[in-house]
């Protein structure tokens, strides 16, 4: 495995179908296809983010993975898993059976037409910041010099969507 001073972190979300089962299936496929799960955050229940309110609430979490895949290869794997588990891209921030975002790839900074790292909106989403805190992922200093908790505390009320969390154990 490639060693990174900062972990490789994926954000997972679902608001269509059996959310918990879909997230478990996604983790199983990650394990099987070259990006085994090292650690899981809690599961977070939250309202839709991004101004598209006419949809079911979300179930979100984050995982750290160990992989030899390079960032774009990992992105391709993520897109494959999303498709296999029923994701069809119809509208931005719309309802989805599965969403997997590559949030951090070690301490790599990348600007590519297909992928930006760290994820460009992770510092504005409580459903990403709370799982990062759960995972004790150290933040890149240029992104969060005072830590993930400071970013979470500074979010305006309108950008806070989490209303419940629970332990997430694999089944």
The catalytic residues are 87, 96, 99, 101
On whether the CB atoms of residues 76 and 64 are closer than 8 A, the answer is: no
Query: Could you give the CA distance from residue 68 to residue 120 in angstroms, rounded to a whole number?
Result: 23
DSSP classification of residue 56: P
Dihedral angle computed from the Cα positions of residues 122, 22, 18 and 82, in that order, rounded to the nearest 10 degrees: 70
CA distance 143 to 148: 9
The CA–CA distances, whole Å, from 77 to 41, 70, 82, 123 equal: 21, 10, 9, 24
Q: Which of 59, 14, 34, 25 is nearest to 170 (CA)?
A: 25
* Exposure of 2 in the CB half-sphere (CA atoms within 13 A): 16
Measure CA 142 to chain center: 20
């Amino acid at each position: 495995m490639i060693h990174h001073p900062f972990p490789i972190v994926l954000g997972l979300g679902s608001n269509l179908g059996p959310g918990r089962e879909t997230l478990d299936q996604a983790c199983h496929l990650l394990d099987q296809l070259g990006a085994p799960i090292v650690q899981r955050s809690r599961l977070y229940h939250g309202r839709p983010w991004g101004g598209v309110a006419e949809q079911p609430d979300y179930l979100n979490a984050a995982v750290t993975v160990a992989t030899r895949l390079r960032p774009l290869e990992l992105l391709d794997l993520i897109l494959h898993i999303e498709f296999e588990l029923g994701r069809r891209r119809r509208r931005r921030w719309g309802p989805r059976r599965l969403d997997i975002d590559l949030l951090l790839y070690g301490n790599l900074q990348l600007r590519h037409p297909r992928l930006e790292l760290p994820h460009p909106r992770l510092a504005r989403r409580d459903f990403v910041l709370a799982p990062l805190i759960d995972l004790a992922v150290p933040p890149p200093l240029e992104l969060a010099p005072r830590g993930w908790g400071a970013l979470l505390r500074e979010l305006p009320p309108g950008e806070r969507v989490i209303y419940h969390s629970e332990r997430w154990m694999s089944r």
